[in-house]
Structure 1
Amino acid sequence: MAAGDPGNNKEEDVAGKKEFLIKINLDFCKACGLCYSYCPTKAIGPDKEFRASVVDADKCIGCLQCENYCPDFAIEIEEIK
């Protein structure tokens, strides 16, 4: 790629990246594991008690798989603006 090619501009890449807030209500979580089983980027995973836990929020792509598969409505994904 050429020096002026937009594909090489890391600042532009970062500016275009969406960020998401992962909210987990541990009072509702029953440790079924569905949320982290369906997370394509492994942004969430199990804690010591196998409940949902944020592993790396920067990996979240906002696909809502965790939120949609959670039978207890313990997860909410919110886009940060």
Structure 2
Amino acid sequence: MPNNSDSNIATADALTLLLHNQHALGAAIEEVTKWLSENGLEAVAENAVVAMKTLDANASAITDVITRLRQL
């Protein structure tokens, strides 16, 4: 069984990969939002902006957890 340090590193590594995926999804949503706005679908674009704000808030929390795990 791995020790806590090994487990923390593995968890932090996995969370880092998920965070990278989250950033990629945010970038994709941003591109779609831009297209929606440019094509007269402002209401839908506004909903996408709300989703991006959620991704940003969660990314911040995930980053904090990764930092704490790497310090243990």
- TM-score of the aligned structures, taking structure 1 as reference length: 0.31
* Higher relative helix content: 2
* Higher relative strand content: 1
Per the normalisation by structure 2, the TM-score is: 0.33
Report 1 or 2 for greater relative contact order, CA contacts < 8 Å, sequence distance ≥ 6: 2
Larger radius of gyration: 2
